[in-house]
Amino acid sequence: MTLSTRRIVVVLALFAATFAALQLSQVVRETPIKQPLSGFPAEIGEWRFARKSFFAAPVIDMLGVADYISYDYVDGSGGGVLNLYISYFTAVGVTGGYHSPQNCLPGGGWNIAKVEDVDLPNGAGRIKKVVVQKGGELQVVLYWFQNRGRIIASEYWEKVYLVLDAVFKQRRDGSFIRIIGEPPKGADPARFAQQMIDFAAKVTATAADFIPGA
């Protein structure tokens, strides 16, 4: 067997394995949420619940979410405001699916200025941090996937784990969590971003009471 023939055989084998994994990954069970997200606490650290917002029915149908919340929290002084969005899917790609945040964020004049992974305190995991700007305005966006016992910052690795867990666990459930904040006037943006990261760490721990784990 020549080298080129071996390469063709290897490529065909990889294609066959990938096809088989994708077919097996479709045989999954829907995994219900542990408890409704509406029970998310009104106090998270120094942040207090202020208001909630709702999506229109067509948006919910388009996303295919099984449950979601969009809550605004304010800090103790009332100066900072964060929007916490959590969406839960019983079977990603079957009953609904994520939309890449980096595709959705640009719009309304906002442009992505910086993207990086950041570590949560106490080794809780890594999440994505995106800074968006419009003129002199700045917003910080944190997001991650909290799926089947993992905190995942990367859309790529989320897809990898999704296929693996579908094949070996028959599960495709998962959640997408996003926090948006705008530093108050006169505030240090770096300090405010760190406050957001600390808030995110508390959210991951609290969300584990709602989202099915490993």
pTM over 0.85: no
C-alpha gyration radius of the chain? 20
CA distances from 32 to 35, 38, 194 (A): 9, 15, 33
Q: What is the pLDDT of residue 21?
A: 52
**pLDDT of residue 13 exceeding 80:** no
**Per-residue pLDDT reduced to its tens digit, 83-119:** 999 999 988 877 667 776 666 666 667 788 899 999 9
Give 170 or 122, the one with higher predicted confidence.
170
- Identify the CA nearest to 151 among candidates 99, 90, 213, 86: 213
In whole angstroms, how far apart are CA 53 and each of 63, 69, 93, 155, 183? 16, 8, 25, 26, 21
Instruction: For residue 21, give the nearest of 147, 170, 150, 146 by alpha carbon.
Output: 170
Please write the tens of the pLDDT for every residue from 181-192. 988 887 788 888
